[in-house]
Amino acid sequence: MLLRKGDPDRICVHHSAVSPGADNIFDLKKRLAQYEITHSKKSWAEETKTGGEYGYSYLAYHIAVAKDGHEMITQNDKYILYHAGDNARGKDSFNLHGIAVLLDGNYETEIPTPYQKEALARIIARFERQYKVNVIVRGHKQTSLTATACPGVNIGTHENGFLKEAIARANEIIKNGETDEPLNAPSAPIDDETEELRKKVEELSRNMGMLEGQNAELAKRLSEKEAIITQIQMDSQKWQKEAKSANDNLGKVLEEKGELEKTIASLERKISKLTEELAEMEKEKNANWQLYKKALEGQIDKQTSIQLIEILFNRFYTKIKSLLKKEQSGGEK
């Protein structure tokens, strides 16, 4: 249990983020019973547990307001509740020096009612009169040290929209000496036309929320497709580089192949020439062998065998010299 030192001087406005908001006091009581259970499970629940004078020991709001303007006191102003997320602000903390007012509903998509505006204005005026302060009024997202959407875009801030208008109405109540009693039975109901317009605006807001969700999904899909296209383009560039490299390598291979074919053709010509020369030598050898055989058989009578052998040797030597000379002459070219 945490008790406040001194009187509060500020109000933090919240929404429940539960849609649709409680229409009346009976629905509001049911909702608050659920919120009590939820808040009892917070990590700081036992630290901020109150005396439960109004039936709630863990609920982190001092006042709750239904859509028809009915309000319920849920915690005594003397208790410090953790609702604004700003203990670290010290003397400027809405947790330590303020009270929490809940407007039941989800005001990211719903539109707060004129009754809720009047009820909030009376709470602000009552607060100023009771504690004799120039109360500071802010939405939760303006106080929290961590990001939050509470109390919703359709509540606005003290500088624009619903909240600014509620503050201005509170100033009128104080200036004109009007009542700040709880709006638990509206004595001057809002005309039907205004209420019908409010309902239409609320419906349009819900539809816009749906469209925003669809747009977000489409944007996500588009982003995924763009990522795929980018990857394909990167792969295509990679493949083009690889293809160019392969073509360059192919050109070199073909060039080397052409040089090799020229070398092979040159070698084939040399082999062919040598083959022809070997054939001529084989013929010459056979002819010489025939002469040699005849000499041995005594068919050559004017020359001795030794002389014949010398003739054959000279012929063979002359032929070898001729071949060597031709080969040397071909190499010099």
| The residue type at 309 | I
- Which pLDDT tens digit goes with each residue over 197-211? 766 766 776 676 677
With H, G, I as helix, E, B as strand and everything else as coil, classify residue 276: helix
pLDDT in tens, 114-161: 999 999 999 999 999 999 999 999 999 999 999 999 999 999 999 999
Look up residue 247 and give its amino acid: N
CATH architecture, domain defined by 10-187? 3-Layer(aba) Sandwich (3.40)
Q: Looking at the predicted structure, is the pLDDT value of residue 61 above 60? A: yes
More confident residue, 147 or 290: 147
pLDDT band, very low/low/confident/very high, at 189 (cuts 50, 70, 90): very low
Joined together, the tokens standing for residue 30 give 């049911």
Q: What is the DSSP letter of 87?
A: G
- Return the beta strands (E) in the chain as ranges: 10-15, 63-65, 71-73, 98-103, 136-139
**Residue 105, Ramachandran bin (φ over 0: left; ψ between -120 and 50: alpha; else beta):** left
pLDDT range class, residue 187, cuts 50, 70, 90 = very low
The mean per-residue pLDDT over the stretch 79-105 comes to 93
Residues paired with 12 in a beta bridge:
100, 138
